[in-house]
Chains A and B, each alone.
Chain A
């Protein structure tokens, strides 16, 4: 077991402790959950990941910064970046749309 592993275990332990109260609240239904966006946007994640998966290799092959990596690694980097960007966009756009109390 390396030092890196110990740091990861410690971080996981802390994260676990931090997430426990809210995780428990979700599980016992004491956290409000009645305000989901139930819009007509019925696109689902599969479509999203298909789209991201399809465009990532194409983008990766056109970015000079990623030339040093293998094709699969470069695509993976682009894919992760795209997913993160999309999640941030969805959070920003979706936040005001969510039902409020």
Chain B
């Protein structure tokens, strides 16, 4: 390995990701979670389950130094572009270590750089890049027999994203033949990976908006931990299996391209523990998306991509040099194509929903009440408020079954608006002379707005024009087809 190869690869990858990264507020592009991280780090409130304590702490730190759009850009570059570039560098080092060959290592790094899935998460404000970086670092340390540091890296990864937890558990389980030397590292993992989640308990106890979690009590904790995950993980209907597999194929093909050939050889025997760890990471990430009710969970495949790139390198080691050239050319083409068509900045301009929302909130008169549903819209609203815009947020849950137990109390204490549900809160705000605006995904709040307009017909209740929501209007579930109703009748008959 030449002395300057690693820094050149790292610097090139960093430059590539920086050039393609989003330069403004883009929570709608790829991941609406960006709004969550921004708002939660700014307000220091409990983020979406399960918290990502290390990520929001780092974001908070960045937020203290910078402000506004500078925070977005700095977070994107420091917490997404930089870790991804390090991951590409690590993939090169790992493959070089495993194969003692330069070309397979370079090709693997290129395969990762060309992967569209990896690119999308490396160029926006998201937590995946950092978590994946720690996971890949753990593998680098693992193949160098540094157990304590492996556990530390896995722990830090877990503190960034909970998805590293099952990976770490299986990782430790695969070491069952020599489990004794792994006892101390397991302790380090608990300290660095699990303990930081106590930050969420602290945040629950603070006087911040009771939005995604209530106060520090048993019911609130129960809803926070089991409320969302339990309804989407592994719950996809079997009848969706073919469609989900097709969707995965459509995403993976343009992400890996010609690298499927070396990957095929990389997946072949022999299987030692090092290879099993890679296979495990790929399996866990694919399994999550294959069984998740959430179709946007394709982003979790990202966790498996460095492992896939490493397996490609292992496969290339079994093939002639021409295969490495072919896969490298394929990856370079993908880098160019993705650079043009999956460029975060271009896509933000192409579909400027987030910036429109941001601008329209800013255009509202000071002191207005904004009614919106939970999720990206509410968090976008909190973000605008955190920048100093004087608005009052009435946020209601996704569905009747999801409850924000203490939010009304927080609203009453902070703004003096009283009500037990959204119509009640809106009515009270109108009675007190506020301008009330509905904002966000139209079909999500249509019931509330409709019910309200029927109730008093007051045109003070308005919507922010020009917004159709995160989801295209025509994609919403409108009504069940007859065959579906018939099928349900048959199922009901069978149950009886």
Contact = CB atoms under 8 A, between A and B. Distances in A.
A99 interface: yes
Given A1-B322, A29-B296, A90 B253 contact: no
Given A19-B249, A32-B475, A24 B342 contact: yes
B280 interface: no
B479 to A, nearest CB: 9
Nearest to B477: A99
Contacts of B235: 42, 44
B290 interface: yes
Contacts of A99: 477-478, 480-481, 484
Contacts of A32: 471-472, 474-475
Contacts of A13: 257-258, 330
Nearest to A96: B483
Contacts of A97: 239, 481, 483-484, 487
B405 interface: no
Given A28-B347, A36-B240, A44-B291, A1 B257 contact: no
Given A27-B342, A32-B472, A41 B116 contact: no
A48 B258 contact: no
B464 interface: no
A28 B481 contact: no
Contacts, number: 161
A8 interface: yes
B323 A1 contact: yes
Interface residues of A, number: 46
A23 B465 CA distance: 31
Contact of A28 (B29, B234, B261): B29
Contact of A12 (B243, B250, B255, B261): B261
B253 A87 contact: no
A50 interface: no
Contact of B238 (A5, A19, A28, A90): A90
17 contacts: A9-B258, A20-B337, A23-B251, A23-B255, A26-B251, A27-B116, A37-B237, A39-B491, A42-B235, A44-B291, A45-B238, A45-B241, A48-B238, A87-B242, A90-B240, A94-B237, A96-B487
Interface of A: 1, 5, 8-9, 12-13, 15-16, 19-20, 22-24, 26-30, 32-46, 48, 87-88, 90-91, 93-94, 96-101
Which 8 residue pairs are nearest across A and B when measured between Cβ atoms?
Answer: A94-B239, A32-B475, A96-B483, A19-B253, A34-B475, A23-B250, A33-B295, A91-B242
Interface of B: 28-30, 116-117, 120, 234-243, 245, 247, 249-251, 253-255, 257-258, 260-261, 287, 290-291, 293, 295-296, 298, 319-320, 322-323, 326, 330, 334, 337, 341-342, 347, 351, 470-472, 474-478, 480-481, 483-484, 487-488, 491
